[in-house]
């Protein structure tokens, strides 16, 4: 019993000592810093304000619509640039126009005469030959003299327009010498498609009276053949009109053989370029 009382007394003393020791430690720590160095100033707390704003459904719809329209416009612009024809690109069989400059037609040379104009093939040369009275201009192919043209001017005999010469048939009969005259006058049989006692023939493919710029023209396309068989015949074109008291006749021809080797295009473009001025 005495032993138990001593043990309890010792335990109470130990607890009391520990309590006093803890209080003493707290008192000494309350007036000191844990670090030996100077105390660091306390930083002020930074406050970040986040503002959240709800977007109305109408505003959201408008924004989405604006974005879609913007994307659509950009796509259309890109498509336009992609699909825009490029002058430097060439179709199959054509030369590319690399620098985009206007290409000039070098196949013909514009010619302005007194009272008329015509585009002369660039590979044709002037010819001094005058087959018909009143010839003021004559050119021929530098590789084939059978292909040629002539401009013939004579007085209109007081007539003011081509219709005063009669119909297209009347005019052609009067100026048939333009097709070439038969020089042989002997007797012949009907052979080779020619009439008896004839060694030349002319077939009229087309004839018309056309009005261009208020002026009437008589125009003819014919094929003439002769017994010599040279070139297989001649494709001939005659265009006539009256201008300022003058009868102006344009005559062009090409040999049958060369006609089918590219001369047709040249002759037709040449004839189409002629006009009274």
Options 3.30.160.250, 3.40.1000.10, 3.30.70.20, 3.30.420.40; CATH of 126-181+193-276 = 3.40.1000.10
87-96, 130-139, 176-185, 219-228: range with lowest mean pLDDT = 87-96
pLDDT at 180: 72
Q: Domain boundaries in the chain?
A: 126-181+193-276
pLDDT in tens, 28-72: 444 444 444 455 555 555 555 544 455 555 555 556 666 666 666
Alpha carbon distance, N-terminus to C-terminus of the chain: 158
* Residues 207 and 172 sit within 8 Å (Cβ to Cβ): yes
State both tokens at 197. 């006692």
pLDDT at 106: 86
pLDDT in tens, 3-20: 444 444 444 444 344 444
Residues of 242-256 as b/e, b for ≥16 C-beta within 10 angstroms? bbeebbbbbbbbbbb
CA–CA dist 92, 96 (Å, integer): 10
pLDDT in tens, 63-102: 666 666 666 666 666 555 554 545 444 444 444 455 555 5
pLDDT in tens, 146-200: 999 999 999 999 999 999 999 999 999 999 999 875 433 434 344 444 444 343 5
């Amino acid at each position: 019993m005495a032993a138990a009382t001593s043990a309890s007394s010792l335990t109470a003393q130990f607890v009391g000592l520990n309590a006093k020791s803890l209080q003493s430690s707290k008192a000494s720590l309350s007036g000191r810093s844990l670090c030996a160095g100077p105390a660091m100033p306390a930083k002020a707390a930074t406050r970040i304000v986040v503002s959240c704003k709800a977007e109305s459904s109408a505003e959201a719809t408008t924004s989405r619509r604006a974005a879609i329209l913007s994307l659509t416009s950009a796509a259309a612009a890109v498509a336009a640039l992609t699909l825009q024809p490029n002058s430097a690109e060439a179709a199959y069989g054509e030369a590319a126009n690399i620098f985009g400059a206007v290409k000039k037609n070098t196949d013909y040379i514009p010619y302005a005469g007194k009272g008329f104009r015509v585009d002369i093939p660039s590979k044709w040369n002037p010819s001094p030959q005058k087959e018909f009275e009143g010839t003021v201009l004559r050119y021929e192919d530098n590789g084939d003299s059978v292909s040629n043209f002539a401009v013939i001017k004579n007085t209109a005999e007081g007539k003011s327009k081509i219709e005063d010469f009669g119909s297209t048939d009347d005019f052609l009969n009067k100026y048939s010498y333009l097709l070439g005259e038969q020089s042989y006058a002997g007797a012949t049989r009907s052979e080779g498609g020619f009439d008896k006692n004839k060694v030349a023939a002319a077939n009229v493919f087309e004839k018309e009276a056309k009005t261009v710029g208020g002026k009437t023209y008589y125009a003819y396309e014919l094929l003439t053949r002769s017994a010599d068989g040279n070139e297989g015949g001649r494709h001939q074109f005659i265009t006539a009109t009256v201008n300022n008291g003058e009868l102006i006749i344009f005559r062009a021809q090409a040999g049958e053989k060369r006609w089918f080797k590219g001369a047709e295009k040249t002759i037709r473009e040449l004839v189409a370029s002629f006009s009274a001025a």
